[in-house]
């Protein structure tokens, strides 16, 4: 019922924006840019909270506000709320050319040149050139309407230069406007920074907040990818941390994330984590004929290819029907099978006899030294040098061992060539798999 009422409200907002008075500019007060922006913010926040019906409305409203800003009388910007509306529109996915249009016609100086200059650089992809100025301005406008948006923009620029400063800016943005699309973006990007910088505790905290507030966001899949990466790349993440965060999800989403973790852990060779995640996914299966059951088993056993249980794991992953796996997982299985075959392959008998054809190099040296000692009266173990002699005689035992060494080198080269071919094949399968 609440969702239905929300959609009715969205429809009412759309009808108000599209009314003839707004379209013709007949009612200047109702068509004020700041009022139109409020409607856009409502729609965008609805998108972040998971209302899929708001997406098309968002595109419509961005276009409508764009037209209005281009047709409005410049005197409307005497009201600072309309100036803020134009700037927020530009930072909310609006047309950057419209901001250029307004600045070019701002003969009365309604817009702060410092703000417009850094935004123009940012929107044209040159934000790094004004990074410090952008941070300073964001802090200066902290308590203004445009403050959270400037924080978000400044944070985006600072990610590469100073991740800690970026996190601070994102924190300011999300705390200023909770429950909005700004908070959603700030939390998601904070998780990304935490993963990259190895800030595990902060990453887990941001992840929990995101799951509790924006589970239904259209960007939640991006968050899930980041969370899986946090779990896989940082061993400090404990099983209880994963369980606690995912407990806020409904069962289908929770099972999906556990499967993602199991899959990524299997590829990374983290057998224990893969099996644990697969077990949790299985526990959420519900019905006995759960279609995801074989997939969870596959991920769990795939990780065992790199362990002592490789034989059982190879048999298990081979028993999964192709129809149970996606094309990506079929390619992954082929790669795992190839690796298992190499591990289980019996050694070449010829390679086992190579050692008997020659003595170890240290034995040869010792024997040579002993012979030299016996002939010149030197005590064993002395380091009296001997000159090599080439008298055309038959090869000495040492030269025979060199020939054996060449045979070993040839066999080793052949083995390496074959192994490289197998690895190239596996790499090709993994590249097709796309992960």
pTM exceeding 0.85: no
Q: What is the pLDDT of residue 269?
A: 79
In the prediction, which pLDDT does 274 show?
87
In the chain, the N- to C-terminal Cα span, in Å, equals 41
Instruction: Decide which of 428 and 61 is more confident.
Output: 61
User: Which of these ranges, 198-202, 294-298, 317-321, has the smallest mean pLDDT?
Assistant: 317-321
Condensed to tens digits (0 to 9), the pLDDT of residues 82-99 reads: 999 999 999 999 999 999
pLDDT score recorded for residue 263: 86
pLDDT digits (tens, 9 = 90+) for 249-300: 999 999 999 989 988 988 887 888 988 998 898 888 655 545 556 666 666 6
Q: Compute the distance between CA of residue 305 and CA of residue 282 in angstroms, rounded to an integer.
A: 20
DSSP class of residue 143 equals: T
How many residues are given for the chain? 435
**213 near 188, Cβ under 8 Å?**
no
User: What pLDDT is recorded for position 322?
Assistant: 59
Q: Is the pLDDT of residue 147 over 70?
A: yes
Q: According to the model, what pLDDT value does residue 122 have?
A: 97
Written as one string, the DSSP assignment of 89-154 is: HHHTT--HHHHHHHHHT-TT--S-HHHHHHHHHHHTT-GGGGHHHHHHHHHHTTTSTTHHHHHHHH
C-alpha 365/C-alpha 370 separation (Å) is: 9
Better-scored residue on pLDDT, 102 or 17 = 102
pLDDT digits (tens, 9 = 90+) for 304-313: 555 555 666 6
Query: Among all chains, which residue has been given the structure tokens 């209880």?
Result: 240
Q: Looking at residue 171, what is its pLDDT?
A: 98
Q: How many CB atoms lie within 10 A of CB 181?
A: 23
The answer on pLDDT for 423 being more than 60 is no
**Model confidence at 349, in pLDDT bands (50, 70, 90)?**
low
Would you place residue 378 in the very low, low, confident or very high pLDDT band (cuts 50, 70, 90)? very low
The pLDDT value given to residue 283: 85
The reported pLDDT for the residue numbered 314 is: 63
pLDDT > 90? residue 174: yes
Q: Could you report the per-residue pLDDT of 95-119, keeping only the tens digit for each?
A: 999 999 999 999 999 999 999 999 9
Q: CA-to-CA distance for 170 and 155, rounded, in angstroms?
A: 6
């Amino acid at each position: 019922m609440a969702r239905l009422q929300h959609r009715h409200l969205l429809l009412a907002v759309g009808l108000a924006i599209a009314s003839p008075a707004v379209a013709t500019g007949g009612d200047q007060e109702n068509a004020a840019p700041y009022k139109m922006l409020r409607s856009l913010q409502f729609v965008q926040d609805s998108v972040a909270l998971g209302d899929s019906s708001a997406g098309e409305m968002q595109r419509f409203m961005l276009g409508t506000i764009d037209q209005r800003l281009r047709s409005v009388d410049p005197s409307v910007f005497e009201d600072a709320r309309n100036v803020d509306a134009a700037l927020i529109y530009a930072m909310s996915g609006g047309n950057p050319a419209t901001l250029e249009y307004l600045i070019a016609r701002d003969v009365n100086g309604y817009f702060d040149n410092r703000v417009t200059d850094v935004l123009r650089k940012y929107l044209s992809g040159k934000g790094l050139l004004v990074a410090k100025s952008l941070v300073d301005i964001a802090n200066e406008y902290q308590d203004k309407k445009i403050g959270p948006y400037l924080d978000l923009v400044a944070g985006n620029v600072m990610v590469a230069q100073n991740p800690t400063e970026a996190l601070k800016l994102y924190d300011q943005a999300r705390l200023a406007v909770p429950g909005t699309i700004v908070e959603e973006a700030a939390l998601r990007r904070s998780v990304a920074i935490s993963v990259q910088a190895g800030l595990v505790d902060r990453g887990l905290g941001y992840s929990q907040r995101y799951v509790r507030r924006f589970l239904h966001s259209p960007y939640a899949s991006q968050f899930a990818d980041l969370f899986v990466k946090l779990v896989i790349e940082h061993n400090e993440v404990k099983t209880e941390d994963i369980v606690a965060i995912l407990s806020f999800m409904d069962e289908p989403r929770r099972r999906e994330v556990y499967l993602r973790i199991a899959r990524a852990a299997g590829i990374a060779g983290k057998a224990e984590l893969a099996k644990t995640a697969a077990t949790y996914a299985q526990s959420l299966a519900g019905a006995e004929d759960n279609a995801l059951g074989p997939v969870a088993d596959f991920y769990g056993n795939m990780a065992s290819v790199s362990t002592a249980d490789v034989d059982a794991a190879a048999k298990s992953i081979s028993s999964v029907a192709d129809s149970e796996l996606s094309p990506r997982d079929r390619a992954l299985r082929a790669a795992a099978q190839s690796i298992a075959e190499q591990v289980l392959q019996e050694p070449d008998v010829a390679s086992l006899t190579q050692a008997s054809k020659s003595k170890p190099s240290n034995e040869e040296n010792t024997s040579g030294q002993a012979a030299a000692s016996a002939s010149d009266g030197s005590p064993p173990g002395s380091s009296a040098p001997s000159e090599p002699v080439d008298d055309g005689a038959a090869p000495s035992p040492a030269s025979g061992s060199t020939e054996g060494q060449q045979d070993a080198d040839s066999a080793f080269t052949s083995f390496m060539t074959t192994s490289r071919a197998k690895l190239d094949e596996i790499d090709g399968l993994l590249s097709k798999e796309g992960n």
